[in-house]
């Protein structure tokens, strides 16, 4: 989860305001390992890391700054493919497989939990797929918002279903039906 240099673990972080609200990013030297959507007590998170000997927590850095640029371009509809590296090494092998399969869903398209499970070779694992997607540490970059329930309905998104719908609308290139990213009507 964190980068190691001369026995010092480095966590780079960055908070930004976006059209969907607050976003907090954290990265190691290997890549981005956390995207938090919505309000976050950064000082509380930072204090957890700082209590661990050998961890350096710093603002900014190549990985988080690249991720921030790419996310903002994506949210403006100007980017469809992320190039920022991800650091998912602290995740389970099953979760990594789910996230790799989910990352292959093309921009502007959706699939079901059952489709992801079938891609993994276990069509009965749809519920386990849902669990892995619920633990996705880098939403949007691993596009869990593109996964729907078996009936094609919106289901399960940590940042809320209105944001999931907004992201899918953004990717489809269709008008947003007058909704803001938070799901409220524009005035």
137 and 155 in contact (C-beta within 8 Å)? no
Q: What is the arithmetic mean of pLDDT over 136-153? A: 92
**What φ, ψ does residue 46 adopt, rounded to 5°?**
-60, -40
Cβ partners under 8 Å of residue 187, min gap 6:
none
What tens digit of pLDDT does each residue of 32-66 get?
999 999 877 878 877 777 777 878 888 899 999 99
Measured distance CA(15)–CA(169) in Å, rounded: 25
Q: What is the pLDDT of residue 178?
A: 43
Residue 89 near residue 139 (C-beta atoms within 8 A)? no
Give residue-wise pLDDT tens across range 159-182.
Answer: 889 999 999 999 988 655 444 444
Q: What is the mean pLDDT of the chain?
A: 86
pTM for the structure as a whole: 0.84
* Residue 101 phi, psi (nearest 5): -65, -45
| Structure-token pair, residue 53 | 């000997």
The answer on pLDDT for 138 being more than 70 is: yes
More confident residue, 47 or 126: 126
The CA R_g of the chain, rounded to the nearest whole Å, is: 17
Supply 129's token pair: 């797929």
pLDDT attached to residue 49: 73
What 8-state DSSP symbol labels residue 106? Answer: P
Position with higher pLDDT, 52 vs 135: 135
pLDDT of residue 9: 76
The whole-number average pLDDT for the span 112-124 is 95
Which one has a higher pLDDT value, 88 or 186?
88
Q: Can you tell me the distance from the alpha carbon of 58 to that of 46, in angstroms, rounded to the nearest whole number?
A: 9
| pLDDT greater at residue 106 or residue 45 | 106
The SS3 assignment for 68 reads helix
pLDDT over 80 (residue 80): yes
pLDDT of residue 175: 57
Catalytic residues: 144
């Amino acid at each position: 989860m964190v980068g190691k240099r001369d026995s010092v673990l480095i966590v780079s972080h960055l908070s930004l305001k976006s059209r969907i609200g607050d976003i907090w990013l954290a990265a190691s030297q290997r890549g981005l390992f956390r995207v938090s959507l919505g309000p976050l007590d950064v000082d509380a998170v930072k204090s957890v890391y700082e209590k661990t000997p050998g961890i350096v927590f710093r603002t900014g850095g190549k990985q988080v700054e690249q991720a921030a640029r790419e996310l903002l371009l994506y949210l403006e509809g100007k980017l469809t493919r992320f190039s920022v590296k991800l650091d998912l090494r602290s995740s389970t092998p099953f979760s990594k497989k789910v996230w790799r399969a989910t990352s292959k869903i093309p921009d502007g398209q959706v699939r079901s939990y059952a489709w992801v499970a079938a891609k993994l070779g276990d069509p009965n694992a749809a519920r386990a797929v849902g669990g892995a997607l619920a633990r996705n540490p880098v939403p949007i970059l691993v596009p869990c918002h593109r996964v729907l329930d078996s009936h094609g309905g919106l289901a399960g998104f940590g940042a809320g279903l209105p944001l999931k719908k907004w992201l899918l609308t953004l990717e489809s290139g269709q008008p947003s039906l007058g909704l803001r990213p938070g799901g409220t009507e524009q005035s």
